[in-house]
Structure 1
Amino acid sequence: MNRAMRIRRASLLGLASALALLLLPVPRAHASAPEKAVSRTVKPRKIGIIGTGKIGGALARLWVKAGYEVLISSRHPEELKPLAEQLGPKARVGTPREAAAYGDVVLISVPYGALPQIGRDHAKQLSGKVVLETGNPYPQRDGPLAEEARLKGTGQTSKALLPGVRLVRAFNAISAVDLSNQSGREGTLVGIPIASDDEEALKIASELVKAAGFEPVVVGGLERAKDFDVGTPVYTRLLTAEELRKHLGLPQ
């Protein structure tokens, strides 16, 4: 083989090698990097609202706006039809019993003196459900029961009045006006204290607090609900979550 042929053969072999390299799979630049977490949208829950007054009505508006379906109720459900029409197709009207049966989660927002009857009348429908309860006891309105709750704490008192539910004390330490006006405010959100003996119920309640445009602050079990009862230093004060934790002696 002469010199020219050897050079040509070498050139062809080099070209073949280059082409083979080009056909090899190119490694991904970020193959070893962890994949970004996929954001998950919480599946909207159905919420039954027993007592659609100022607090219940405000939360109905906020939750419908966030994409939840609600059934609003009162002792006179016909009076709630205008509100349901304003809220649109995600809202319907019913009796308290229907609200208790309808909701995956139930909000009870009634005068504290009405709580014993709610517990008796709708025990079957409420059994095993996460129940957010907002009532505050006032002796001049609710009688001896309110005096007992003030002494014992609403967490423990409400637990006895609503047996069989996964109770969360929530939205009792904010006024109805602030609930409407401070939702999703610019800057740092207002903190909402919540308490329950059920960890999963606290997670669900936290989800609903966030959906309403506030920052949940888990205070502890129902025994600690008295720390944000009516008359306490944090009651109806517009505090951030950080400020609320500081006032309640919670870790930051």
Structure 2
Amino acid sequence: MHEEFGPLADPFGDPGDPGNRPGRLAVGVVGTGRVGPALGAALQLAGHRVVAASGVSDASRRRAEALLPGVRLVTPPQVLAAADLVLLTVPDDALPELVAGLAATGAVRPGQLLVHTSGAHGVAVLEPATRTGALPLALHPAMTFTGTSVDVARLAGCPFGVTAPEELRPVAEALVVEMGGEPSWVPEEVRATYHTALAHGANHLVTLVAQAMELLRTAGVAEPGQMLGPLLGAALDNALRSGDLALTGPVARGDVGTVRKHLDRLATVSPDIGQAYRAMARATAQRAVRNGSLKAGPAAALLDVLNEENH
């Protein structure tokens, strides 16, 4: 690791001790989408000062004006010139090119804290800037953002996936605590697994719920959300508490006849949802077999039905 990280091992002291307030930093935000302004606002509430931000679209500029009033909007190199701590809150795929460009143009200063919020990347993506002396941190808030002031309040207790050089771990965790979050250490080598888990759980959950609502509307249910709310809320709570042991329903019970009826109906109503149902039912059966709630015989019969081409 870089020896220059050593002296900054814990520049903030104890963020929970009112008598030991962290040093105040000039903060810059590169990318005023939904995440950057909220994190900048949270850092301002902690006593830091957002001095500059960059945003191109009209929506980005409006968000900056709403959450970071009075903060000047400039180019990314100008943001880095003004700030001690820079939040890089751009889309995942744009981050490598942004970092490489800033490093190549000499915009990055030695000792500057460079923080990105991408869940998919660790600190390796910041290597071009690290070589010029920047201090790299990856702080990913595990939350969906609306781009409004409500996001700042939601940061209270929000888990953050934290990746940093070991020497900078106290700095990274202190920043998360200052924003109201709860730091969770994610080693660099498993960062992709971490982000896959979050995307699979959150994004595909939305698809699953939307499909269930679509089917209920087809069945004539006027308020599908109202019907699904208690059921899905209980299922999510049980799954978070008990994992696979929370599995219920026809697949977990091995009710082959019921599953066949579902597939027959989906072939008529929505073949696309039928494909998703089949994939999730296979995965559910496999997990139910592993935890012992579904025996091998019924599981084999169930998988035969799920694999039938006419469905």
Post-superposition Cα deviations, 1:177-219, rounded to whole Å, max 9, x if no partner, equal 48434222xxxx232120112422x322222211211122223
2:115 corresponds in structure 1 to 132
In the aligned structure 2, how far is the partner of 1:132 from the partner of 1:211? 14
Post-superposition Cα deviations, 1:71-113, rounded to whole Å, max 9, x if no partner, equal 2112469963773476345x33221111122221111111222
SS of aligned partner of 1:229 = helix
Number of equivalences = 179
In the aligned structure 1, how far is the partner of 2:92 from the partner of 2:194? 16
Measure how far apart 1:131 and its partner are: 1.5
Q: Give TM-score, length-normalised by structure 2.
A: 0.48
- Answer whether contact 1:173 1:235 (CA < 8 A) is retained: no
- Answer whether contact 2:119 2:161 (CA < 8 A) is retained: no
- Answer whether contact 1:167 1:198 (CA < 8 A) is retained: no
CA separation of 1:172 and 1:42: change in aligned 2, threshold 3 A: closer
Q: Which residues in structure 2 correspond to 1:94-173 (within 5 Å)?
A: 94-123=74-103, 124-128=106-110, 129-136=112-119, 154-155=121-122, 158-160=125-127, 162-164=129-131, 165-173=134-142
Q: Which residues in structure 2 correspond to 1:23-42 (within 5 Å)?
A: 39-42=19-22
Measure how far apart 1:224 and its partner are: 3.5
In the alignment, is residue 215 of structure 1 matched against residue 182 of structure 2? yes
In the aligned structure 2, how far is the partner of 1:104 from the partner of 1:45? 6
Q: Give TM-score, length-normalised by structure 1.
A: 0.58
Measure how far apart 1:59 and its partner are: 1.0
In the aligned structure 2, how far is the partner of 1:233 from the partner of 1:115? 18
In the aligned structure 1, how far is the partner of 2:113 from the partner of 2:189? 17
Q: Which one has a bigger Cα radius of gyration?
A: 1
In the alignment, is residue 52 of structure 1 matched against residue 32 of structure 2? yes
In the aligned structure 1, how far is the partner of 2:123 from the partner of 2:172? 18
Unmatched tracts of structure 1, length 5 or more: 1-36, 138-153, 238-242, 244-252
CA separation of 1:161 and 1:231: change in aligned 2, threshold 3 A: farther
Measure how far apart 1:226 and its partner are: 2.7
- 1:182 corresponds to which letter in structure 2? R
- 2:152 corresponds to which letter in structure 1? S
CA separation of 1:79 and 1:135: change in aligned 2, threshold 3 A: closer
- 1:130 corresponds to which letter in structure 2? L
Structure with a larger share of its residues in helix: 2
In the aligned structure 2, how far is the partner of 1:199 from the partner of 1:66? 23
RCO higher in 1 or 2 (8 Å CA, sep ≥ 6)?
1
Unmatched tracts of structure 2, length 5 or more: 1-16, 204-239, 241-311
1:32 corresponds in structure 2 to none
